[in-house]
Structures are given as structure tokens and as C-alpha cells.
């Protein structure tokens, strides 16, 4: 096991970030063309079944860097800055021998956990696991009686956020990183996380958008986070997610400093 990335490892990690964010394809990607109803009617008779029209489009580098767009082709929407934050946290827990696995709760196309596995590969770490927890069916419908903060939350309606387990595994395979150090927890967090066979965590990355998803993950997993480990909150700028963070921290008297990552996400070190 290496404590630090060598020159080759640094090059690999940098390339992995650029591949996951689609940065390597000339900052251009294909996006779906939404046709007007009349054109769409005729197109269905012309186009082969299960096909659609696309057009090339440059993406906004500043938005892609900070994870402020929803990419059509990239395997992550968290951007370069948040990937670099994951890198920092992993380097610190390895350097300081903080025990535990890594988990992301809410993985979308898998880019964040793919990057975690790539970092372990680059550091020759073989005694830690990467856990990908997701429903792989999108977000849950709000339960405002139990979680009033999620009232009218629209995320469950967004098909773009539904990515199957099979698709995420295919993405892992594309990078040569689907192996026995990657574990999947399929289902709603309230059902999977309390029984998850995880002993210790060194990194807990929360990407559940909603109050319920964030709180469910914290309740089940924060007690397993080792001292010196990190909590990363991808959706800290979302009001109901931030409320869950502050409610949980207040209940458990957690005073560790919350550090901004990119104006959207934040993290803290458990002391």
C-alpha cells in the first residue's frame, strides 16, 4: 500500500477525473434534440425504433468544473472540484491510517464511487471497500408527515435521476474498476443502510438531495465513521438537505467545522 500517489498515480487520477466529467472529449458532447410536437410525430415514422436526434454542444467549463450542470454523457455531475475533494479526503485517511471503507449514498451514474475505487487502485490499497448505495430507481416520493422539510420536493419526478444498477456496473467495468472491492446496496436508504454489513467507515459521502435521504444516511452510518474520517455533503446548498445536516449535528452536539468545497457542497472532519 502506498501512502502517497507517485507520478504515474497522479497522472492516472487526473485523467480519471477528466474522463468521468467528459472533459477529455474536447468539451463537447451530444445532447438530445427535443422536437416540436408536429416534427416529433413525423420523426417517429422516419427514425428507427428506440432512436432519437442529437446535436453536438459545447459545455460550460465553469459549470462543469463546479458541478453546476446536468451533463448528457458524463458519468458524474459533481464536477472537478468535488472530485478533487474526494481525492483530498482519501489521501488524508490513507496517510493518517484512519480505518474504514468508503461509501456514497446516492450515486447516479456512479462517477463518485468509480473515482473512489480508482484512488484505491492508484494507491495500491487492497483492504478497503467502496460501497455504492442507491435505489437505482431515482429518489423517494416525499413523506411530509414524517419529514415536513421535504414537502413538495420534486426530485422523485425526474427521470434523469433514475439510473439502473446494471448501467452503473457497466460504467465501473468501462474503467476496469468493477471487482470485489466494490459493493452495491440497492434499495431505499431506510431499508438498506440500517442492515448494511459495514463495520467502519473512513469516508461518508452524502448525495441524497432530500431531508429524508440525508437523515437516513446519517442515522445509520455516522456512528460507523471513524475519528479522523470525513463527511462530504454534496447537496449542502439545498435547503432541506442542509436542514437535515444541522438537525443531526445539533442533536448529537457535533461542532466540527463545516468547510465549503465549491459554493454548493461542503465537508467536515470527524473529531
CA gap 201, 225 in Å, rounded? 5
Higher pLDDT, 69 or 251: 251
In this predicted structure, what is the pLDDT of residue 42? 62
Percent of the chain surpassing pLDDT 70: 94
In this predicted structure, what is the pLDDT of residue 63? 87
Give the residue-averaged pLDDT of 127-138.
98
> What are the residues whose beta carbons fall under 8 Å from the beta carbon of 253, sequence distance 6 or more?
none
pLDDT at 31 over 90: no
Give the residue-averaged pLDDT of 12-33.
85
Query: CA 223, 224, 230: angle at the middle one, nearest 5?
Result: 95
Give the residue-averaged pLDDT of 48-52.
73
Higher pLDDT, 55 or 78: 78
pLDDT at 38 over 80: no
User: Helices 111-122 and 165-174: crossing angle, nearest 10°?
Assistant: 30
Q: Which three cell numbers stand for residue 130?
A: 467502496
In this predicted structure, what is the pLDDT of residue 39? 66
In this predicted structure, what is the pLDDT of residue 26? 63
- Domains of the chain (ranges; CATH) run 28-58 (no CATH), 79-269 (3.40.50.150)
* Cα-based distances in Å from 80 to 44, 114, 123, 171, 172: 38, 14, 20, 18, 18
Give the residue-averaged pLDDT of 206-221.
98
In this predicted structure, what is the pLDDT of residue 43? 67
pLDDT at 9 over 80: yes
Give the model confidence (pLDDT) of 145-202 as tens digits.
Answer: 999 999 999 999 999 999 999 999 999 999 999 999 999 999 999 999 999 999 999 9
pLDDT at 59 over 90: no
Percent of the chain surpassing pLDDT 90: 80
* Cα-based distances in Å from 195 to 8, 72, 187, 199: 39, 34, 12, 11
- Residue showing cell 442515522: 219
Please, which pLDDT band fits residue 1 given cuts at 50, 70 and 90?
confident
Amino acid at each position: 500500500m502506498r501512502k502517497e500517489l507517485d507520478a504515474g498515480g497522479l497522472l492516472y487520477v487526473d485523467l480519471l477525473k477528466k474522463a468521468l466529467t467528459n472533459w477529455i472529449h474536447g468539451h463537447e458532447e451530444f445532447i438530445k434534440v427535443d422536437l416540436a410536437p408536429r416534427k416529433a410525430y413525423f420523426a417517429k415514422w422516419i427514425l428507427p425504433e428506440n432512436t432519437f436526434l442529437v446535436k453536438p454542444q459545447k459545455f460550460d467549463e465553469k459549470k462543469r468544473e463546479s458541478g453546476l450542470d446536468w451533463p448528457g454523457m458524463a458519468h458524474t455531475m459533481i464536477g472537478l472540484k468535488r472530485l478533487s475533494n474526494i481525492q483530498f479526503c482519501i489521501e488524508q485517511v490513507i496517510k493518517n491510517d484512519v480505518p474504514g471503507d468508503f461509501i456514497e449514498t446516492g450515486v447516479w451514474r456512479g462517477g463518485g464511487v468509480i473515482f473512489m475505487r480508482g484512488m484505491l487502485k492508484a494507491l495500491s490499497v487492497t483492504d478497503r471497500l467502496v460501497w455504492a448505495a442507491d435505489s437505482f430507481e431515482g429518489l423517494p416520493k416525499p413523506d411530509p408527515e414524517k419529514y415536513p422539510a421535504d414537502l413538495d420536493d420534486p426530485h422523485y419526478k425526474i427521470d434523469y435521476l433514475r439510473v439502473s444498477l446494471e448501467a452503473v456496473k457497466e460504467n465501473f467495468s468501462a474503467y476496469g474498476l468493477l471487482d470485489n472491492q466494490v459493493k452495491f446496496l440497492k434499495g431505499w436508504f431506510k431499508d438498506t443502510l440500517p442492515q448494511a454489513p459495514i463495520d467502519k467507515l473512513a469516508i461518508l459521502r452524502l448525495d441524497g438531495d432530500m431531508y429524508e435521504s440525508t437523515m437516513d444516511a446519517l442515522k445509520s452510518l455516522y456512528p460507523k465513521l471513524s475519528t479522523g474520517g470525513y463527511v462530504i455533503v454534496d447537496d449542502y446548498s439545498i435547503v432541506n438537505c442542509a436542514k437535515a445536516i444541522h438537525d443531526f449535528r445539533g442533536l448529537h452536539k457535533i461542532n466540527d467545522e463545516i468547510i465549503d468545497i465549491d459554493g454548493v457542497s461542503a465537508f467536515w472532519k470527524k473529531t
